[in-house]
Amino acid sequence: MKKLILIIAVLFCISPLAAEAVTGPADVADAAGAGLSSFLGHIPADSRQEYGFTQTDPLDKAYLGDPYNLHMITPDALFSYSEGVPVASILTVTNQWYFPVMIQDKIRCFLIVDRMDDKWEAVSLGYATLARSMNQVRADWPADKGYSPVLIAVFQAKKYLVMIPEAGEVLLSLSPGQTASGPGPAASGSGQAPSGSGQVANILESLKPTVREAIKQR
């Protein structure tokens, strides 16, 4: 009986953290909900495609999906990386939350929530190209099979990456105008592709020259 009570207590302690990992803190979600309609209402009629919407999409049917807490790789962390180092160890969590703006279960763009003057605010809407890439990531590494992609930015390289922690740190490079590149699952939704430290190293090493050049031009 004592063992059963202990297990129940542990579950109650863990569940709020697990929920936060998927949905974000409540005040972050509140800020996103408050900002969505305003941002959507300011999209010019002739610019819908830039935000991932068609001319016939009912914007009043758009809703927010589970957000991604953006992580970043700083220049120092990138330059210190060597093959075999866990990707998670070089990540820094940011205050930015990327909320998928959904229509018919597809991400059309992202609403960004950030910490501004000690409060959470929706600060921008867009990233349609990233949205298309993340739709493919969601299809290949679905949440209902236990995958929780981590969205990563290398700001100086103007590059987004995605890590799949549950698949042995699979690292995907999101190329502008393309879907994710890198090792994908054998079939859509199967999620069965090892990353390999060599593949991870190739992606990260390829970013170093761009980041160095960006720093020189400051």
**Mean pLDDT, rounded, for 75-104:** 96
CA distance 118 to 134: 30
Residue that wins the pLDDT comparison between 17 and 105: 105
Per the CB < 8 A criterion, the answer to whether 58 and 104 are in contact is no
Per the CB < 8 A criterion, the answer to whether 36 and 111 are in contact is yes
Per the CB < 8 A criterion, the answer to whether 62 and 54 are in contact is no
Give percent of the chain above pLDDT 70: 78
**What is the pLDDT of the chain when averaged over all its residues?**
84
pLDDT value of residue 196: 54
**Which residues make Cβ contacts (< 8 Å) with residue 170, sequence separation at least 6?**
141, 163, 164, 182, 183, 193, 194, 195
Residue that wins the pLDDT comparison between 205 and 198: 205
Q: Which fold has domain 24-216?
A: prostaphopain b, domain 1 (3.10.500)
In the structure, what pLDDT confidence band is assigned to residue 175 with cuts at 50, 70 and 90? low
CA distance 36 to 33: 6
* Of 58-67, 140-149, 196-205, the least confident: 196-205
CA distance 174 to 160: 6
Residue the block writes with tokens 């408050």: 34
pLDDT at residue 7 is higher than 80: no
pTM of the complete model: 0.82
Q: What is the 3-state secondary structure (H, E, C) of 76-145?
A: HHHHHCCCCCCHHHHCEEEEEEEEEEEECCEEEEEEEEEEECCEEEEEEEECHHHHHHHHHHHHHCCHHH
In the structure, what pLDDT confidence band is assigned to residue 25 with cuts at 50, 70 and 90? confident
pLDDT value of residue 197: 63
Residue the block writes with tokens 């790789």: 73
pLDDT at residue 157 is higher than 70: yes
**Mean pLDDT, rounded, for 176-186:** 43
In the structure, what pLDDT confidence band is assigned to residue 88 with cuts at 50, 70 and 90? very high
pLDDT at residue 192 is higher than 50: no
